[in-house]
């Protein structure tokens, strides 16, 4: 879009943005004419066209035939978005990026991933040197306790659950929990809030029927102009 405070990505990095819907076209024209503000498209993590499964895998994984095959298979299973299903419950055509359709499927097909259902992580365990050695988890079905060992432990449980696990992971070396020498873990948490409104816009009444569902959520925004 050529905007100084919202620079464009390099050519070929992003897919084309979804086309503006009728209300977004109206907002674009009126915002520019009345307020001098630019309404620009949003590039979301949702496919607006099929991925190039013939060339991209080799570029991303040179010399790794297995990784190329798995990525190509997954890319061919993903379709261009046409608002097929409830996006928040997992995209049935793989257009929207989410772990279930984009990451877990090829990882499972690689044979290098095991998924443990009904496993609630309780704490990360560490050795005498303070290095993580695994995770203790509870089977939610029968309440039994188990431990999974690993050379590397990745904590990716979002803000609140990550805090719970860090604070639960107490030991003689970390009496206040992992990564909590400051005592600030679990404090000063922030979150994003939003609100919405609806309105009747006469200029949008009696439009001819057409499919303008677009992608889920917002497709346009007004960048900061100061």
Residue 114 lies inside a defined structural domain of this protein: no
Reply yes or no on whether the pLDDT at 7 is more than 70.
Answer: yes
The backbone torsions φ and ψ at residue 125, rounded to the nearest 5 degrees and listed phi first, read -100, 150
Q: Is residue 129 part of a domain?
A: yes
Give the pLDDT of residue 107. Answer: 92
State the DSSP H helix or E strand holding residue 220, giving kind and residue range, or none if neither: strand 220-221
Beta-strand runs (E) in 46-192: 119-126, 132-139, 145-149
Q: Find residue 121's DSSP bridge partners.
A: 137
Residue 137: per-residue pLDDT: 98
Q: What distance in Å separates the CA atoms of residue 113 and residue 91, rounded to the nearest whole number?
A: 22
- Work out how many domains the chain is built from and give that number: 1
> Which of residues 164 and 14 earns the better pLDDT score?
164
- When pLDDT is averaged across residues 138-163 and rounded to a whole number, the result is 95
The residue count for the chain: 226
In a domain, 157, yes or no: yes
pLDDT recorded at residue 165: 97
Is residue 163 in some structural domain? yes
Q: Considering the domain boundaries, does residue 22 fall inside one?
A: no
Rounded Cα distance between 143 and 135, Å, is 16
Q: How buried is 62 (Cβ within 10 angstroms: 0-12 exposed, 13-18 middle, 19+ buried)?
A: exposed
pLDDT score recorded for residue 225: 62
On whether residue 10 sits in a domain, the answer given is no
Continuous segment of H or E residues that includes residue 186: none
In the predicted model, what is the mean pLDDT of the chain? 89
What residue numbers bound the domain in which 127 lies? Answer: 120-210
Q: What is the pLDDT of residues 92-133, one digit of tens each?
A: 899 988 888 888 988 999 999 999 999 999 999 999 999 999
Q: Is residue 91 part of a domain?
A: no
Rounded Cα gap, residues 166 and 122, in angstroms: 9
Residue 39 to residue 221: CA distance in whole angstroms: 5
Q: pLDDT tens across 165-214, in order? A: 999 999 999 999 999 999 999 999 887 777 888 888 898 898 887 767 66
What's the whole-number mean pLDDT along residues 69-93? 87
Tokens 């904590």 belong to which residue? Answer: 155
Q: How far is CA 40 from the centre of its chain?
A: 21
Is 171 inside any structural domain? yes
pLDDT for 49 equals 92
Structure tokens at 31: 């915002």
Percent of the chain clearing pLDDT 90 (strictly above): 54
The pLDDT value given to residue 216: 67
């Amino acid at each position: 879009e050529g905007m100084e405070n919202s620079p464009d990505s390099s050519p070929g990095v992003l897919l084309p943005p979804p086309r503006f819907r009728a209300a977004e076209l109206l907002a674009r024209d009126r915002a520019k004419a009345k307020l001098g503000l630019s309404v620009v498209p949003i590039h979301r993590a949702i496919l607006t066209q099929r991925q190039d499964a013939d060339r991209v895998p080799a570029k991303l994984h040179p010399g790794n035939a297995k990784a190329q095959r798995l990525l190509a298979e997954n890319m061919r299973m993903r379709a261009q978005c046409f608002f097929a299903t409830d996006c928040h419950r997992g995209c049935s055509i793989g257009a929207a990026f989410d772990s279930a359709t984009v990451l877990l499927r090829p990882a499972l097909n690689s044979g290098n991933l095991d998924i443990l259902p009904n496993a609630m992580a309780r704490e990360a365990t560490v050795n005498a040197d303070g290095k993580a050695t695994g995770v203790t988890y509870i089977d939610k079905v029968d309440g039994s306790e188990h431990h999974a060992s690993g050379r590397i432990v990745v904590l990716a449980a979002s803000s609140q659950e990550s805090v719970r696990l860090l604070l639960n992971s107490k030991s003689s070396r970390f009496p206040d929990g992992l990564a909590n020498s400051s005592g600030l873990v679990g404090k000063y948490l922030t979150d994003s809030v939003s609100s919405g409104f609806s309105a009747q816009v006469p200029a949008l009444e009696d439009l001819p029927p057409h499919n303008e569902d677009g992608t889920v959520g917002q497709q346009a925004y007004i960048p900061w102009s100061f």
